[in-house]
Amino acid sequence: MTDFLDINTTPPEALRSIIDNALAMKSARKGQPKGTPDAEQPLANHMVALIFEKPSTRTRVSFDVGVRQLGGQTLVLSGADMQLGHGETIADTARVLSRYVDLIMIRTFEEQTLVEMAEHATVPVINGLTNRSHPCQIMADIMTFEEHSGPIKGRKVVWSGDGNNVFNSFAHAAGQFGFDLTFTGPPTLDPEPGSLDEARSRGVNVTIERDPAKAVEGADLVVTDTWVSMHDPASARERRHNQLRAYQVNEALMARAKPDALFMHCLPAHRDDEVTSAVMDGPNSVIFDEAENRLHAQKAIMRWCLGV
């Protein structure tokens, strides 16, 4: 039994087997109604807690559906309705939940909450997004890239916008999957340097280029995300928009990438802020495949965590 807390702390061979398993499970159930149980039911008799301290559409629904397809049952819990961190310590909640459920997925604010949960739970814990990372999303993104464009190793990924939690997981993935990563955005919203240095130490090119037009040259994949994340104060909205406007992904920017470059966004997107509708709905966009692949990737992650 193993936690899935971050991409940089999961062995590369495990990451590869998760992607391969996700692709195989996706293809095995192609065309079937969504509620059809998988041929294998490795989560039969398993109870999974899905805890949300922040809003979610994709993570909530894809985990819930994924557990059911694998034969398990879910409890979807709102952090606000629990004693999490205020009525009792995270450690005590972790110990208690471990007596009721076989697996815990948590979306929370501080990374420390996730770490404490994992440390004190006696069942595997999965990171469903923190202020610092979003590893399940990037596993789905790697899967999506490889479905459309082949192996990601050695390819060029460009992130335009805020150096946020989703970017951080891309930096983790660059080192583990061996792709080059360019960040383009204003210096005030740079990603944390530690993740960039760690990826570089694993032998990949990680660069910061302030000019978005230069940054996307030769890109195989262009990615962006919301300019204001759930943990950012609402009061920062106007300042962030002013700083990030030049980094919008639009058709002019996409035209500078490779002609077959993919466009990704973890969603939810703010149409015509960080990305134009023309790009989101255009021929290079794979955003809804990304969303679908959350389901398949997370099923493979849960199986890996439980060793089933």
Residue 215-254 contact track with ligand NVA, rule CB under 6 A, x = bound: ----------xx--xx------------------------
Residue 220 annotated in active site: no
| 154 contacts: CB under 8 Å, gap ≥ 6 | 178, 179, 180
Residue number with CB closer to ligand NVA (43 or 286):
286
164 contributes a contact to ligand NVA by CB under 6 A: yes
Which one of the spans 28-36, 161-169, 216-224, 274-282 is the region binding ligand NVA (CB under 6 A)? 161-169
Beta partners for residue 275, in sequence order: 249, 271
143 binds, among ligand CP, ligand NVA, none (CB under 5 to 8 A by kind): none
Owner of token pair 């530690």: 194
Cα torsion angle, 15, 20, 21, 22, sign = positive
Distance of alpha carbon 117 from alpha carbon 11, whole angstroms: 21
226 binds, among ligand NVA, ligand CP, none (CB under 5 to 8 A by kind): ligand NVA
Distance of alpha carbon 218 from alpha carbon 142, whole angstroms: 18
Which one of the spans 87-95, 164-172, 215-223, 272-280 is the region binding ligand NVA (CB under 6 A)? 164-172
46, 58, 107, 240: the catalytic one is: 107
Distance of alpha carbon 52 from alpha carbon 113, whole angstroms: 12
Distance of alpha carbon 3 from alpha carbon 105, whole angstroms: 10
Backbone dihedral region of 150: left (phi > 0), alpha (psi from -120 to 50 degrees) or beta? Answer: left
Residue number with CB closer to ligand CP (69 or 133):
133
Cα torsion angle, 14, 290, 22, 148, sign = negative
46, 58, 132, 134: the catalytic one is: 134
Pick one of 7, 90, 104, 166: the residue that binds ligand NVA (CB under 6 A): 166
Sheet holding 262-265, edge to edge: 206-208, 180-184, 156-160, 221-224, 262-265
The distance of closest approach from Cβ of residue 306 to ligand NVA in the complex, given in angstroms and rounded to an integer, is 25
Contact of 47 with 100, CB cutoff 8 Å: yes
280 binds, among ligand NVA, ligand CP, none (CB under 5 to 8 A by kind): none
Distance of alpha carbon 1 from alpha carbon 3, whole angstroms: 7
Distance of alpha carbon 177 from alpha carbon 179, whole angstroms: 6
The distance of closest approach from Cβ of residue 44 to ligand NVA in the complex, given in angstroms and rounded to an integer, is 30
58, 240, 294, 296: the catalytic one is: 294
293 contributes a contact to ligand NVA by CB under 6 A: no
Residue number with CB closer to ligand NVA (38 or 232):
232
Residue 225 annotated in active site: yes
Residue 6 annotated in active site: no
Dig out the tokens for 192 from the structure.
């944390």
Contact of 101 with 49, CB cutoff 8 Å: yes
Dig out the tokens for 106 from the structure.
């948590």
In the complex, the residues that contact ligand CP under the rule CB under 6 A are: 56-59, 129, 137, 266-268
Residue number with CB closer to ligand CP (134 or 258):
134
57 binds, among ligand CP, ligand NVA, none (CB under 5 to 8 A by kind): ligand CP
Residue 112-141 contact track with ligand NVA, rule CB under 6 A, x = bound: -----------------x------------
Residues annotated as catalytic (active site), given as ranges: 107, 134, 137, 225, 266, 294
